[in-house]
A and B are shown apart, each in its own frame.
Chain A
Amino acid sequence: MKTTLLSFCILLLVSVPQAYPITVSSKNFTESYILAEIFSKKIKDDFPEHEINRKLGMGGTGILFGALTNGDIDFYPEYTGTIAEAILKRPELKEISEINKALLPLGLIASKSLGFSNTYAFAVKKETAAKYLINNISDLATLPDLRYGFSYEFLKRNDGYYALAEKYGLKNTNVKGMAHGLAYEAIESGSVDLIDVYSTDAKIKRFDLHILEDNLEFFPRYDAVILANINFVKEYPGLWLHLKSLEGKINGPEMVKLNALVELGNYTFKDSATSFFTPFSATDKERKINFGQIWSKTREHLFLVFVSLLLAVVIGVPLGYLATCSGWLRHSIFAVSGIVQTIPSLALLCFFVPFLGIGLAPTLTALFLYGLLPIVRNACIGLESIDNKLKETSQVLGLKKMQSILWIEIPLSMPSIIAGIKTAAVINVGTATLAAFIGCGGLGSFIVTGLALNDINTILHGAIPAAILALILQYLFDVADRFLIPKGIRS
């Protein structure tokens, strides 16, 4: 009865007529994608009247934090440790209630743990666990002869193995350093007995390993939670409650299984999220090339490149002209556009997120700025290289300043201007792949997903069309030269 009443109340609360699209986001690694898909499915299945926007695979905590605080996105999966350290800069905060107290002034709120923590963990083979009756890390204290294989990072960190050994009183001396990627093969082949892993690694399932409980709570808690904007929670308390019903529902082994479906079984993030609600017996799938998807991402990509390029031409050529007018103007224009060029593209994209949010505005702004320098510089050089006698002649013939610019100076500097536009276009085709990091789609979406999956195939889905696009553009500009460069000065 209570549940029915609660559901009824929830229905009442969420059935507001003018539903605005709800935006769910994620970081660019498998687990984050899957959780975001689970969140959106959770809402979509039970409240289909809400439109859900999925801006997945964003480039980092900073971008997501910016997007969340200014309301571009409504919620995304995050980890308590990351919230405490990266967002709040208060690593001492452990409990969700403390964290929420600190989040409140920022207009954010976190759910309780979804049921698992993604942190360092110790893993042994199931046979080893059964043989020595090992359940938690304390059990290791009586087994000094086990052979440990640890990642170099875990061995080196101040809060790594040696601190842990002290806390748990481990006296093992047989400790080997190895690359993380090789650890699973090492334990499988029996050359080590225990390795450090991330607690929800897909390979834990593949190699059928047993995770030891961190019974003294040495490892920092990285409990998965839903981090949301408080306005969303206030506007849709029903939806928030509905999402919060996922609290405690996803345990570690379950998350490992979902990650494995994607990373080892070649299922999509969506498939994996679906299997959380309705489990199916999974057999590994062959990933197929989806040409329709490539085409639609290519169109998004072209849109980004051309709109930003158009802006850069419209602003850049006049700026190039201004630069020819006075020395200090030239220096300042070149200095500013030169500095912009030295900022790494991803950093530049992220720089705009606090002001412009995520999506189209910061992407176009960043691409526009990248395209600007080659266009301004080439326009300026082209205009400056015009023989002064010709400029004087246009004056003597009675041409007004604007006539002289449009009829004489711009056409004469066309070869240089076009060369600048060509360079800008090729730069932008490459840089636009980063748009995916701030939720703006394009061919970069494949690259970001592929990086998350460590799947070269998916990366190539984005990288190859982008490279082909750059070549096609280059060719089209060569053709355009014939129309845009006046016949008399064509080489």
Chain B
Amino acid sequence: MLFFILTDKYYIKNNKTLIFFLYLCGFLLISPVSETHHLIFLGPLIILILADYWINYRQKTYLDYIVLLIVIILLFAGKNYHYLYFPMIVVSMVLFIKNILTVDSRLPDPLLSEVNRGADLQGNDKL
């Protein structure tokens, strides 16, 4: 809970409402019982992480792709080795904070903000 409060109050400067999706992961951690179907609460976070990669695939580094690959491997392997779900949740949360929440906190550059919000989908490579 301390992690959520510190992240929300001090770490994320802008985009204060989008952090809501991170709070949904808190359901998993406070629930006394861990069951696979509870991971649906991580769904919106995974959607946003994938959407970020889908839109900004040109800006991503090899390291970004490796981290995403780790999340996917842990997600699939977790079906048989359930303890892998916990690192998967943690890595997803870190990826969400790094790629989505903090991107908005460094938005003074309008050019960068347009690229991050998918302006390049129109085919105008402004960079």
User: Are A and B bound to each other?
Assistant: no
